[in-house]
Amino acid sequence: MARVGEGPAGRAARAAAAVGIALLVLVAALAAPVRAQTILRDAETEAFFRDAARPLLEAAGLDPRGVTIGLTADGSVNAFATLGQRIFFHAGLIIAAEDVRMFQGVLAHEIGHVAAGHAVRWGEGVGPASGVSLLSMVLGAAAIAAGAPDAGMAVLMAGQQAATGMILAFSREQESRTDQAAAAYLNAAGIDGEGLIAFFRRLQGDEFRLAIPQNNEYARTHPLTGNRIAALREVLQVSPHWGRGPDPELQRRYARVRGKLIGYILEPAQALAAFPPTDTSDAARLARAYAFHRQGRHAEALAEVAPLAARGAADPHALELKGQILLESGRPEDAIPPLRAATVATRYEPLVASMLGHALVQAAERGGPEAGARMAEAETVLRNALSRDRENPFAWLQLGVIYERRGDGARAALATAERLSLTGGDPRVTGRAAEIALAGLPRGTPEHVRAQDIALAAAAAAETERSRGGRRR
């Protein structure tokens, strides 16, 4: 429906804009899957990710130290790779996949995307499609302006369809090649590829339940799932590793990670139903411990984790969970011994150490003869943790508390700026914190230089927001 008083040129411009927006929406949906994701961090989970990925990354010719594997709180069954050699698994995928081979199969696929540089090379597919779209806009607008609105709109719509088809075809080609790369990595790493097939079977079952058509792949970003399964079988079934089963140790560790995630993500009643009291496996005890803790049933949570924590240094992450439950139930003094033991047993793993730092700060704030020593230990522990993992906003928060209590406003402001820069805080607030730090820190020191870097990045982010008309509330 045209607006009153709108001429052919106006209709042409509006139609062209609509086509361009449609193409941009498609590109955004395909190229930017990581938006407003809540990142979950857990020391045991991240250690498992690193160990499970190492043979696959080496098979792909990638340096394991350069690839980051993370976890989001999203409940959907999905995973994705993004810029910076980063891979993310949705919590829903791990909860849904009981067999570690399914996890390894999906991981191999995402490593295929990283190895091929698909996040960086996305423009190879979008560029030609954009050219087709722009050309159709020019030709369509010319036809409309010449008095042939129907012909012009036909050209515009045909151009949109052609551009969309080119992007989808490019995406399908990437996915097909990545499937084959994943199969090659699994075979080279000596991993049973049945897990990848099982994952696609599950995906196909979901598509059947949702009545997603299985006979036309041209409107899809991925090839038909049945075709993917058939193509993968040809490569995986001839491997000597086919049918070998999961690695027992990795399966045990994966079950623990999955159990913790079920207890943390699902409603407590669901988690307790999934792991009844008769199940005394590590995974079940961890799931119930988290579920009980979330319900405020701290004594029951501690009872669940007690047999695992009794192993001492042999199960440092059970000690960590015991300390977490004690800390979050208002008993920081009691949390210090198990958290200190867990920190030592994990060789000062940053996430574990930062929780110990938190317990020490909380205990120190209650006063008493040990308050000063606890605050000093907390600073040492937290600074050590941040020297190994700066992307830990919780540790920056605790370190900022220490500096504030000491009256060191400049370093407290720097810790705040560090935390806000990691959590996506308002760049104007981040910038102000960095400027306060700059005013009080000695010039030329590493801390002063770091404050300058944050201030410049925050100013650039704030300017970008202003130029886009963005406004935070």
DSSP letters along 366-426, please?
A: T-STTHHHHHHHHHHHHHHHHHH----HHHHHHHHHHHHHHT-HHHHHHHHHHHHHHHT--
Neighbours of 442 (CB within 10 A): 8
Mean pLDDT of 110-124: 69
Q: Specify whether the CB–CB gap between 414 and 433 falls below 8 A.
A: yes
- Answer with the residue of higher pLDDT: 132 or 315: 315
In angstroms, the CA 171 to CA 168 distance is 5
pLDDT at 470: 54
pLDDT tens per residue across span 380-429: 999 999 999 999 999 999 999 999 999 999 999 999 999 999 988 899 99
Classify 192 as helix, strand or coil: coil
- Answer with the residue of higher pLDDT: 154 or 464: 464
Confidence band for 298, pLDDT divided at 50, 70 and 90: very high
Residue 389: half-sphere exposure toward Cβ, Cα within 13 Å: 19
DSSP string for residues in 120-186: TTHHHHHHHHHHHHHHHHHHHHHHHHTT-HHHHHHHHHHHHHHHHHHHHHHHHHHHHHHHHHHHHHH
pLDDT tens per residue across span 4-42: 444 444 444 444 434 333 333 333 344 444 445 788 999
pTM over 0.95: no
